[in-house]
Every structure is written in C-alpha cells, then in structure tokens.
Homo-oligomer: A and B are copies of this chain.
Amino acid sequence: MFTDKLTAACRRNHSFLCVGLDPDPALIPHPHIPSFLGEIVEATADLVCAYKPNFAFYEALGPPGLEALMETVASVPADIPTIGDAKRGDIGHTAGAYARAIYSTFGFDAATVNPYLGYDSIEPFLKYPDRGVFVLCKTSNASSADFQDLLCRPPSRGRQKAVPLFETVAAAAQRWNTGGNIGLVIGATYPAELKRVRALCPDMPLLIPGIGAQGGELALTVRYGTDAHGERAIIASSRQVIYASARADFATAARREALRLRQQINDLLASTHDGA
C-alpha cells in the first residue's frame, strides 16, 4: 500500500518534507542532470518523506529528458516513495495508458491527476491498488480561483446548497477512495481551503506544494494539513532545496536546506500539538 510506505518513510525520517526534483538547465550547476539529481537524492534521502519529480521539466528536454527521469526515479532508495507529478487527465482508455506510463514504465509509487474529466479518467489509476493517486483539489496558483472556487451544485437537485468546486472534488475523492489509495493536492497558499479539505477528508494524505518560493504560510500548512494524529501531510518544496546553491557545494547546500525545513516543520508540529 502506498499510504503504508509513505507513513513508514515519514516516521523513519521524522519528516513531512517532500523534495521536488525539477531540473531546470539554466539553474543546474552540473553538466549531467541525472548525476545532479542523484547527488541531491543521496544528500537528502534520510531527511524526506517522498520525492516528487514533475514531468514537465523532463519533457521539455525531449527523449533524453525522459531517460533522465527514469534514472532519477531509479536513484531513489526503495523505501522512499516517489510521486510522479504529471497532473494527467484523459478519457478511460487513454488514462489507462498514462497510468501504465507513470506506474509501470517510469516506476513511480504515486501520480498526480486532474479531476476535470471525472471518475472514469481516474479509475484506471485506482486499479493499481499498491500505488497512490493524488487528485488536484485546490491548486497553489493565483488563477486556481477561476474555476476551483466557483459555487457548484448538481443539475438534477434543485435546491441543494452550492459549494466551491474544489470541495465537490474533495467530497468525490472521499467517496471514490474505497481502496484507500487516494490523496489530494492543496496549495499551501490557501490555508482556509486546506483546513476545509482536511475536515472533509480527515484520513487522506494531502500533498501540499506552495511553501517557500510561492509564499505559502508554513505554520498554517502544518496546523491544517496534518491529520488528527499529526501525520499524512506531505509538504513539498522544490527550487528552495535543490537550487540552494548554484556552485559545486549544491548537494551540501541542499542537505542544509532540507534539514532546516524538516526542523521548522517538526517544531511547528510540536507547538501545534502542545497547543491542542
């Protein structure tokens, strides 16, 4: 089970930090991407609960980039979960090909998916019972309000109270989660929405990007993102860790930054629990 693997890694490494592995050739202080990311992984593998490569940065480099992605996934120790941040969404038959790509071909433990196409676009991912599926719910970007915040109600039930689209998605994910392998993606930039989604989905792993560069508030992220046991939050940071130094000391600098973030999160969690 993905959730078991995730919880084990969190506990073993005392960490809710997920490091995003997003190669940007303009920022990488190393000529070879898989070696650069491999050194980052080696320097941080005892400090994280997961790694999260985003497909976009590899695809932009063409087939050699996808080779680099395979090497990067292979460089992650077997007991640390890997999340393929692909945000895929397509009709059933095609979604099946994406699930095969992410889980089988590239070997990820989990995938991020887009809910716009509805249940049958997500079902092919759920059919891998040992893998995780993170459904986009309230994303960290400014324009997430364009559609995710619209007040929605089903067309068939006249007077049902309208709720924001992202809440409808969270409630649907909760219903679909019969296999216990669904999580949600909520941006740290929206703490009130994070609180609301945690209330709707008390047991789900929440993948929370948007701290650091995107300005999300870490204290509220820790408070609202964790479950009743102070677990199941996956707090993602990418550029802040892997580009901590643009020089030859990039791996040491990434470790220092990962240590600092892990500590900051754990301190906030301790004070949240003291106060509770």
Q: Within the assembled complex, what's the spacing in Å between the Cα atoms of A232 and B98?
A: 29
* CB 8 Å contact bits of A71-115 with B (1 = contact, 0 = none): 000000000000000011111101101101100111000000011
Flag the segment in A11-19, A144-152, A219-227, A254-262 that touches B. Answer: A144-152
Q: Within the assembled complex, what's the spacing in Å between the Cα atoms of A101 and B58?
A: 9
Residue A201 interfacial (CB < 8 Å): no
Q: Find chain B residues with CB under 8 A from A145 CB.
A: 118
Task: Say yes or no: B148 contacts A168, CB within 8 Å.
Answer: no
In the complex, which residues 25-84 of chain A have their Cβ closer than 8 Å to any Cβ of chain B?
54, 56-57, 59-64, 66-67, 70
Q: Within the assembled complex, what's the spacing in Å between the Cα atoms of A62 and B165?
A: 34
Q: Find chain B residues with CB under 8 A from A97 CB.
A: 54, 56-57, 59-60
Task: Say yes or no: B139 contacts A105, CB within 8 Å.
Answer: no
Task: For residue A98, give the distance in angstroms from its CB to the closest CB of chain B.
Answer: 5
What's the dominant secondary structure at chain A's contact region? Answer: helix
**Chain A residues bordering chain B, tally (CB within 8 A):** 60
Task: For residue A37, give the distance in angstroms from its CB to the closest CB of chain B.
Answer: 16
A89 with B90: in contact, given A59-B98, A119-B143 (CB under 8 Å)? no
Q: Find chain B residues with CB under 8 A from A169 CB.
A: 147
Q: Within the assembled complex, what's the spacing in Å between the Cα atoms of A87 and B92?
A: 14
A172 with B146: in contact, given A62-B66, A87-B88, A105-B61 (CB under 8 Å)? yes
